[in-house]
Amino acid sequence: MKIKQKFLDKHGFTIVEFIVTMAVMSIFFLGVTLILSSGSKIYLTETVAGNNQEAVTTIMDDITNYVMYGEDVRVFYRLSEGETKVSGKIVMGADASWFTEGTEVYLDPKNDNKLIFDNMSGTKNAVTLPGAGVTGQLTSGAEFYGNGIDLGYKKIYLVSKKIAADNYEGESIYGLSFGSKYYRGLNLKLQIRDKGVVAGDAGKKGIYMIKLTGIGKMAVASSEVSVEGLNRN
């Protein structure tokens, strides 16, 4: 009887040993779980980022193709509901009544430092920019960028929704062939500049710098191109 007891004592597990073993196994499996979870998050983030970039690149290709065939092209900034800034900056001398939803603001074709506010109802107002050295204000045509472009045969522009004061979310781009679901909830930002105005070189007019950014919950995608119209004079 004593011999059997000794045999059992020698080959069995005590409660303490069992608890220690389970603790070690728990730590091991916790580590494995964390590694798998981290890998899953990385994979998901990379997948979302890839999808976002593909969407933005496809949208940009569509915009580029249209811009190439534009005639009498005009870059404009389309105001959203309640918006009081143009190209993200205050415009000194502009009356508050000019800032109505749907108004298109663009540079005077005869003066790159003069803005025209067109409310699309037959009323146009103009203001001359103050020049350099003023903080927080649009000071020259070189600083102006549009979120839309009139190609003569069609218009393309960013459609934004007001979230809060000075906070707008780009929901889609008007004038393209994509349905609203294609944008996949990206917060879009579109900037279009006339390279000739930015460089102060009339010879470069008709070349447009376009930047599109899509800000998602997990990743940011962007594309930037310079497009020269085929119908330049």
- Let me know if residue 142 belongs to a domain: yes
- Let me know if residue 37 belongs to a domain: no
- Let me know if residue 183 belongs to a domain: yes
- Let me know if residue 217 belongs to a domain: yes
Query: Percentage of residues in the chain with pLDDT exceeding 90?
Result: 50
State the pLDDT at residue 232. Answer: 60
Q: What value does the mean pLDDT of the chain take?
A: 83
- Domain, as residue range, for 198: 44-228
State the pLDDT at residue 227. Answer: 85
- Let me know if residue 10 belongs to a domain: no
Residue at token pair 């580029």:
64
- Let me know if residue 148 belongs to a domain: yes
- Tell me the pLDDT band of 35, cut-offs 50, 70 and 90: low
In the predicted structure, residue 41 carries a pLDDT above the cut 50: no
Please answer whether residues 102 and 121 qualify as being in contact, where contact means their C-beta atoms are separated by less than 8 angstroms: no
Q: What is the pLDDT of residues 128-169, one digit of tens each?
A: 998 776 778 999 999 999 999 999 999 999 999 999 988 999
- Tell me the pLDDT band of 51, cut-offs 50, 70 and 90: confident
When divided into structural domains, the chain yields a total of 1
- Let me know if residue 30 belongs to a domain: no
DSSP the chain: -HHHHHHHHHHS--HHHHHHHHHHHHHHHHHHHHHHHHHHHHHHHHHHHHHHHHHHHHHHHHHHHHHHT-SS-EEEEE--TT---BTTBB-TT--GGG--TT-EEEEETTEEEEEEEE-SSS-EEEEE---SS-TTB--SGGG--BSEEE-SS-EEEEEEEEEETTEEEEEEEETSS--GGGGTT-EEEEEEEEHHHHHT-GGGTTEEEEEEEEE-SS-EEEEEEEEE-TT--
- Let me know if residue 222 belongs to a domain: yes
This prediction has a pTM of 0.77
